[in-house]
Amino acid sequence: MALQNDVEACEKDLQKVTGSQHSQHSNAPENYDTTAVRSLVWKQDLRIIPLTAGIYLLCFLDRSNIGNAKTLNANAGESLLQEANMTNYQYTIALMVFLVAYAVFEVPSNYFLKKLKPSRWIAFLMFGWGACTIGLGGANNYATVTAVRFLLASATLAGAFGGAIAYGVGHMKQVQGLSAWRWLFILEGIPSCVSSVAVWLFLPDYPEEASWLSTSERELAVARLEKEGSKGDAPSLNWETAKATLLDGRLWVHYIIYFGISAPFSSLSLFTPTITAGLGYENLQAQLMTVPPYAVAYVVSIVTAWSSDYFNARALHSAVLATIGAIGFLASALLPAESFHARYGCLIVAASGAFSCIPPLLGWLSNNMHSTAAAGLAIALNVSWGAPGQIVGVWIYKANEKERGYPTGHWTNFGMLVMVAVGCVGLRFYYQWRNKRLQRLGPDATGMDREFSY
């Protein structure tokens, strides 16, 4: 079973599970003590956010480090491709099978998330993907790499860590007789296995079960989630809810938007070391030069996530950031191939826009789901639809286009991000129209019992 396929969904489901949602416009109703609400949210955040951010950091580190391994110490003939006797085509296939498993197992994984509790299921997944990552360190051929990637199944910060770690590990050539790329998989897989124990013990599941909250705090947390958010005693998914979710047209627009952002997301995640190598940086320096684009994108992502939540305007934030990313890719495609410094600056702009528009998109979808079961299915379908987009991303940066600056990749990502921006704006105005209709006609006439967030 694909062990890493539901982390994006888990992150958003956990946010709804715990009620750790900050919007000052919607989460502090007038009949609540605003001081108590603020204190509760702060307490939940301190307990939940560092742990879940660490989970996702380790997850993304373990799924994207294959991009570093591809080029690590290639000048000495000791890269992943050279020692496993893999062609660039076979490398791309190994990337793609991970995404196939990612799509296939997303919905059943979210089912087990509810059935077994988030802390138990995520801890199991963490141990599984950590063990698979360590196993990649022993791969000797294309078949092994592909099989383990199928089983493997704060992302931007993980990208920065990945480049920096790869630079350091690159100096471990033939330590204990192992090449540096093998050490990269081993050393980055161990923390996930070890941390799974902490997740099992300390990750909260539902507010009504949180022993670290007082009785009054638990009651307040449950009350805040009365109309939205996941609940421990909420009914599991049934056919009626599944059918309504599957046939809800507006959700398919969300899925198409997420498909669009997934291509630049996956291509940058897996090919940034390759892209920097094509910008005149060689060997370990190419690994180190992957850090600034991710570091800048991380800061922009944090600011964007806070701002979109504070102003409760996730659609417009995502549209603006997607446009910025599109401009970065467009400039990269139009600049001469030998304009290394200018194109490196464009890479930073492209990464900042592409990565930063993702958190608001995920929050936007989950905020517009009105039951625990429907939210779990919709989030799973959303991430599953992202997998085909990520498959597009693994094919567009072609090895034979290095001297030309990888135009196919840049043009494709430009088009995808334009589609994301247009989709966000269009859906935002649709939700606004639906809300006005609800206010005018009432819930009986519209079939809606609450307004949509945009």
DSSP 240-294: HHHHHHHT-HHHHHHHHHHHHHHHHHHHHHHHHHHHHHTTT--HHHHHHTTHHHH
pLDDT at 243 over 90: no
pLDDT > 70 in the chain, percent: 81
191, two tokens: 């923390």
Nearest to 122 by CA among 211, 11, 207, 234: 11
Q: Is the pLDDT of residue 447 over 80?
A: no
Q: Does domain 7-208+241-446 have CATH number 1.20.1250.20?
A: yes
Burial of 10 (0-12, 13-18, 19+ CB in 10 A): buried
Residue 436 CB contacts under 8 Å (≥ 6 apart), including other chains: none
CA 256/CA 160 separation, integer angstroms? 28
> CA angle, corner 21, sides to 53 and 64, nearest 5?
25
- List, in order, residues 6 or more apart from 55 with CB less than 8 Å away: 7, 10, 11, 122, 126, 195, 199, 203
Distance CA 273, CA 289 (A): 8
* CA-based end-to-end distance of the chain: 36
For residue 178, the 8-state DSSP code is: B
**pLDDT tens track for 7-28:** 444 444 444 444 444 443 444 4
Half-sphere exposure of 57 (CA within 13 A, CB side): 16
Q: Which residues pair with 175 in a beta bridge?
A: 178
Closest by CA position to 156, among listed 308, 320, 19, 290: 290
Residues 451 and 312: their CA atoms lie apart, in Å, by: 13
pLDDT score at 176: 72
Q: Which residue has the higher pLDDT, 143 or 428?
A: 428
Query: What's the confidence (pLDDT) of residue 139?
Result: 82
Q: How far apart are CA 143 and CA 93, in angstroms?
A: 10
* Local confidence band at 351 (pLDDT 50, 70, 90 cut-offs): very high
DSSP, collapsed to helix, strand or coil, labels residue 453 as coil
d(CA 6, CA 237): 17
CA 58 – CA 198 distance, rounded (Å): 13
Q: What average pLDDT does the segment 397-418 reach?
A: 92
**What does the pLDDT read at residue 47?**
85
Task: Tokens 């994207």: give the residue.
Answer: 64
CA separation for the pair 18, 37 (Å, rounded)? 13
Joined together, the tokens standing for residue 305 give 């996530």
CB 108 within 8 A of CB 56: no
Inter-residue contact 180 to 173 (CB < 8 Å): yes
* pLDDT tens-place string over residues 139-170: 888 888 888 777 667 444 544 555 555 556 56
Q: What are the CB-based long-range contacts (under 8 Å, 24+) for 32-35?
A: 32/220, 32/223, 32/224
What is the phi-psi region of residue 28: left when phi exceeds 0, alpha when psi lies from -120 to 50, beta otherwise? beta
Q: Compute the distance between CA of residue 26 and CA of residue 442 in angstroms, rounded to an integer.
A: 20
The first and second tokens of residue 276, run together, are: 């920097």
Among 125, 147, 123, smallest CA distance to 135 is for: 147
Q: Which residue has the higher pLDDT, 330 or 275?
A: 330
Which positions ≥6 away from 85 have C-beta within 8 Å?
141, 142
For 98-109, give the secondary structure using H, E and C.
Answer: HHHHHHHCHHHH
What count of other Cβ atoms lies within 10 Å of the Cβ of residue 442?
10
* Residue 428, Cβ density class (10 Å: 0-12 exposed, 13-18 middle, ≥19 buried): buried
Counting every residue written for the chain, the total comes to 454
Q: pLDDT band for position 255 (50/70/90)? A: very high
Q: Is 77 helix (H, G, I), strand (E, B) or coil?
A: coil
State the chain's mean pLDDT as an integer.
80
The C-alpha atoms of residue 131 and residue 186 are separated, in whole angstroms, by 9
- Reference 392, options 288, 260, 251; nearest CA is 260
Statement: residue 59 has pLDDT above 90: no
